[in-house]
Amino acid sequence: MKSKWYPVLLFVVAFAMILSGGCATKKTTSTPPGAQVEVKDESKWTPPAPEEKPAVDEAALAAEAEQKAKAQAVQELTSVTIHFDFDSYELSQEARSTLALKANIMRRFPDVRVVIEGHCDERGTEEYNLALGERRARAAYEHLVILGVTPERMSIVSFGEERPVNPAHNETAWAENRRDEFVVQ
């Protein structure tokens, strides 16, 4: 029985020796010890030049921002009207607040010129409504002068009942038509 296992055992031992001898670590170097290697790069590649950023014109940006602010201010100046009671040219508290906002805009932009248009409803004679429209425009003009707007930058005109916003013949329409509008020149 010994003879049967003896060659197998001998084979396994020989195989293990071959494996252990074949896995030994070896040091390998491509250059002899102490030798220095010089690497030369003969390619013609050069890094790209840094991109030049366009110079920012601060003055142009500021001028553009100022133009946008002015356009928005002019829109605010012309979009809001003030209204009056029947047969009156007295400024209400709401109208005074609106005029204060308009005065701030006009003081900020000294080159803005405004025409104040006085309007009335259809009741009353044509002559009376023209005079009342002028008194309404004058009231807004004088209040703006008190708030610091120079008079040379404003003018007034009365349209009386000629340009109604609402052509209906009722109290709601008449209240809408009793107004001052501001037109930037």
pLDDT tier for residue 4 given thresholds of 50, 70 and 90: confident
Whether the full predicted model's pTM is greater than 0.75, yes or no, is no
Mean pLDDT, all residues of the chain = 83
| Cβ density class 20-37: b for 16+ within 10 Å, e for less | eeeeeeeeeeeeeeeeee
84-184 folds as 60s Ribosomal Protein L30; Chain: A; (3.30.1330)
21-39: per-residue pLDDT in tens? 655 556 666 666 666 767 6
Q: What residue spans define the domains of the chain?
A: 84-184
101-142: per-residue pLDDT in tens? 999 999 988 888 999 999 998 888 999 999 999 999 999 999
Pick the more confident residue, 162 or 34: 162
β pairing state of 82-83 and 179-184: antiparallel
Pick the more confident residue, 45 or 119: 119
Q: Is the Cβ–Cβ distance between 154 and 102 less than 8 Å?
A: no
